[in-house]
Amino acid sequence: MTALRATGVRRTFAAELAPVRALRGVDLEVDHGEFVALMGPSGCGKSTLLNIFAGLETADEGEVVVDDLVVSDRDETWLAEFRRQHVGIVFQFFNLLEGVSALDNIALPGMLGGRSRSAAESHARDLLDLLGLGDRTEQLPAALSGGQRQRLAIARALVNEPTVLLADEPTGALDTAAAALVLELLASQHVAGQTIVMVTHDPGVAAAADRTVHLLDGLVVDAEHAPGPVGAP
């Protein structure tokens, strides 16, 4: 079954010298439970495509469907509710709420998603324990390492049990050891059945995925399947 589908998606941005055609007619399908890496040079459109799947940007043309819901041409109120219920987003630079604790960074989105405070906090504690941050619940994000902040960001993205997890360069701001831990975490979520679409420029990071989709100049130019799970003979 298809979790995400883009059909004929185009996106052009206004620029001082000339319009920038970020996406030129992208067609892409991602199945439920699949882990897909989007690769390509800077400016090829991969982050724009991820943002359109998330409802953070709007396609100029084409249709975008997530979990059987047409995302194209929706108003911001609908899109905000859609994101709370169907999409988890992980950014390269975390985008955490710096003035509240690690626990509240997860619990608050859970409450917005419909949980009571007690249920949201209980679920947040479970996620923090799962991600090795159970002893950091009351700390502010600034007190955490880069790897810990990214794990916190992933916990926040998972709190409402999204259909799909969208990750934009989730290891780009991390050192090698922290990046390996984050990839291990994403892989464990994938094994548990989570659909993941991840933007990366690093072939080593993309190797964690089932399939790598290459973009160039706003078009899908290649899609290759991994030979098997990472570490498999």
Q: pLDDT tens digit string along 168-212?
A: 999 888 888 888 888 988 999 999 999 999 999 999 999 999 999
Which of 3, 127, 141 minimizes the C-alpha distance to 71? 3
pLDDT tens series, the chain, 233 aa: 899 999 999 999 988 788 889 999 999 999 999 999 999 998 899 999 999 999 999 999 999 999 999 998 899 999 999 998 899 999 888 889 999 999 999 999 999 888 999 999 999 999 898 888 899 999 999 999 998 998 899 999 989 989 999 999 998 888 888 888 889 889 999 999 999 999 999 999 999 999 999 999 999 997 666 544 443 33
Alpha-carbon span 24 to 37, nearest angstrom: 19
Question: How many whole angstroms separate alpha carbon 149 and alpha carbon 14?
Answer: 34
Which residue, 184, 160, 192, is CA-closest to 33? 192
Using alpha carbons only, give the angle 210, 214, 217 rounded to the nearest 5 degrees.
Answer: 160
Domains of the chain plus CATH, in order, are 2-225 (3.40.50.300)
> 69, 34, 13, 85: which is closest to 191 by C-alpha?
34
Q: Which two tokens stand for residue 25?
A: 């007619």
Contact 71, 64 (CB under 8 A): yes
Q: Which two tokens stand for residue 94?
A: 């975390």
Q: Is the pTM of this model over 0.85?
A: yes
The DSSP code for 95 is -
- Model confidence over 223-233: pLDDT tens digits? 666 544 443 33
Dig out the tokens for 60 from the structure. 């100029």
For 103, residues 6+ apart whose C-beta sits below 8 A from its C-beta are 121, 124, 125, 128, 137, 138
b/e for 33-58, b at 16 or more Cβ within 10 A? ebbbbbbbeeebbbbbbbbbbbbbbe
